[in-house]
Amino acid sequence: MKPPVRVVVTGAAGQIGYALLFRIASGEMLGADQPVILHLLEITPALSVLEGVIMELKDCAFFLLEGCIATDDPNVAFKDADYAILVGAMPRKDGMKRSDLLQANGGIFSTQGRAINEHSNRNVKVLVVGNPANTNALIAQQNAPDLDPSCFTAMVRLDHNRALSQLAEKTSTNSKDVKKVIIWGNHSTTQYPDLHHTTVCGEPALSKVDKEWYENSFINDVQQRGLAVIKSRGVSSVASAVSAAIGHMRSWILGTDEDDWVSMAVLSDGSYGIAPGVFYGYPCICKDGQYEIVQGLEINDFSRIRMNATEEDLRSERSSIEKHLISIVTE
Ligand code: NAD
Ligand code: LMR
């Protein structure tokens, strides 16, 4: 057995938190030889619910679970953290865009970014799930100036998985036969699910589906899937979001498959003409705990228009947050 690592989950008593903790404690995220100490952050009124969650965690007798710390203080939660999954935030309801959550949720991520900066391990790996995830990741990262920006990522893996699944269904194959899907940009309706580099059973995906389906159904269905779930269930996705979060962290920490990549939102560095300063979904390969943006892919005009549109969306979210940040910094 390895020495234990400290994993923070914020919003630990919420819908996603509740489902996520058990999968981490059972070893699904970090492997069956990696003990964990869970650091669970909640707001004060939810601490009594969190107590019950901890009772249930204990009742599972997970041999990898070496301890649980429950707190409403970010400075305690992020102390010595090796990994952090930032879930705690308000979810949207039918009729709302994810960006409508920006003002409500933005403040949470500046406080947590500062606590991470101050207290976490210098190579902490942070995944932001709470919406709007890309811009919340930017807020957290900007409030952690002492850390390498590559410590911070946001989740577009759910969109990636949705694309894998929808394409597999369309081509009557299995999601494991589908490789190299890309979600470019924002986890919003402007995201661009790109199949130009994707293969299905080793052959180009776009040779297996008609153009009309790709351009007029698939892209829109992936973009709108979160809303479709909300309309059907009355609340936003939970189990699929948890699965995506586990997959995102597992790929980052344990590596991606040789012949594939994953989509991760990371701080843009100019790759593919996306100017620095936003958390943008890119195809990434991961090795030895580091991610790298896949370089050198050819981008046609169809893709370029959509990649620029989702960048614009992120820049507009960023500009509303810049105002918000000023009031937080001068608090
Ligand atoms: P939920 O309301 O069930 O749970 C949120 C929890 O966060 C609550 O328990 C709340 O008390 C807690 N919380 C609120 N403020 C907090 C703070 N400052 N510190 C710590 N905890 C805090 O919501 P949920 O269904 O678990 O969703 C959580 C977030 O994840 C939402 O913003 C939702 O939109 C987002 N989400 C993102 C994706 C994605 O793909 N990126 C997918 C699904 C959901
Ligand atoms: C999703 O994509 O399911 C989540 O981001 C929830 C939402 O608001 O759509």
How far away, in angstroms, is 212 Cα from ligand 1 center?
Answer: 36
Report whether residue 229 contacts ligand 2, using a CB cutoff of 6 Å.
Answer: yes
Complete domains list, the chain, with CATH: 5-154 (3.40.50.720), 157-314 (3.90.110.10)
Which residues are catalytically annotated?
187
37-66 pLDDT per residue, tens: 999 999 999 999 999 999 999 999 999 999
Question: How far is residue 14 from each of residues 90, 124, 133, measured CA to CA in Å?
Answer: 10, 23, 17
Instruction: State the average pLDDT over residues 111-123.
Output: 97
User: Predicted confidence band at 321 (pLDDT cuts at 50, 70, 90)?
Assistant: confident
Residue carrying structure tokens 């900007």: 142
How far away, in angstroms, is 34 Cα from ligand 2 center?
Answer: 30
Report whether residue 89 contacts ligand 1, using a CB cutoff of 6 Å.
Answer: yes
DSSP H stretches of helix in the chain: 15-25, 47-59, 74-77, 102-119, 133-142, 157-170, 211-213, 219-233, 239-254, 301-329
Would you state the structure tokens that stand for residue 28, as one six-digit string? 């699904």
Mutate which of 72, 127, 129 to test ligand 1's pocket (most atoms within 8 Å of Cβ)? 129
Return mean pLDDT, the chain. 96
Considering only CA atoms, which of 106, 113, 25 is closest in space to residue 66? 25
Instruction: State the average pLDDT over residues 135-143.
Output: 97
Question: What angle in degrees, to the nearest 10, is found between the helix axes of 239-254 and 157-170?
Answer: 110
How far away, in angstroms, is 96 Cα from ligand 1 center?
Answer: 15
Beta strand 262-267 pairing with 279-287: antiparallel
Report whether residue 87 contacts ligand 1, using a CB cutoff of 6 Å.
Answer: yes
Burial 40-56 (b: 16+ CB within 10 A, else e): bbbeeebeeebeebbee
Q: How many CB atoms lie within 10 A of CB 4?
A: 15
Residue type, 147: L
How far away, in angstroms, is 61 Cα from ligand 2 center?
Answer: 32
Report the share of the chain in percent with pLDDT over 90: 91
- CA–chain centroid gap for 286, Å, is 15
Ligand 1: residue whose CA is nearest its atom 10: 11
| 246, burial (CB in 10 Å: exposed 0-12, middle 13-18, buried 19+) | buried
How far away, in angstroms, is 105 Cα from ligand 1 center?
Answer: 9
Ligand 2: residue whose CA is nearest its atom 4: 226
Ligand 2: residue whose CA is nearest its atom 2: 226
Report whether residue 130 contacts ligand 2, using a CB cutoff of 6 Å.
Answer: no
End-to-end CA distance of the chain: 45
Q: Which atom of ligand 2 is nearest to the CA of 131?
A: 5
Q: How many CB atoms lie within 10 A of CB 99?
A: 21
229-287 pLDDT per residue, tens: 999 999 999 999 999 999 999 999 999 999 999 999 999 999 999 999 999 999 999 99
Report whether residue 92 contacts ligand 2, using a CB cutoff of 6 Å.
Answer: yes
Angle at 16 between CA 193 and CA 9, to 5 degrees: 105
Residue 215 CB contacts under 8 Å (≥ 6 apart), including other chains:
302
Mutate which of 86, 98, 157, 224 to test ligand 2's pocket (most atoms within 8 Å of Cβ)? 98
Cβ atoms of 9 and 57 within 8 Å: the answer is no
pLDDT computed for residue 270 by the predictor = 98
294-307 pLDDT per residue, tens: 999 999 999 999 99
At 131, is the secondary structure helix, strand, or coil? coil
pLDDT computed for residue 177 by the predictor = 98
DSSP code per residue over 246-310: HHHHHHHHH---TT--EEEEEE--SGGG--SSSEEEEEEEEETTEEEE-------HHHHHHHHHH
pLDDT computed for residue 323 by the predictor = 58
For residue 68, is pLDDT > 50? yes
pLDDT computed for residue 331 by the predictor = 37
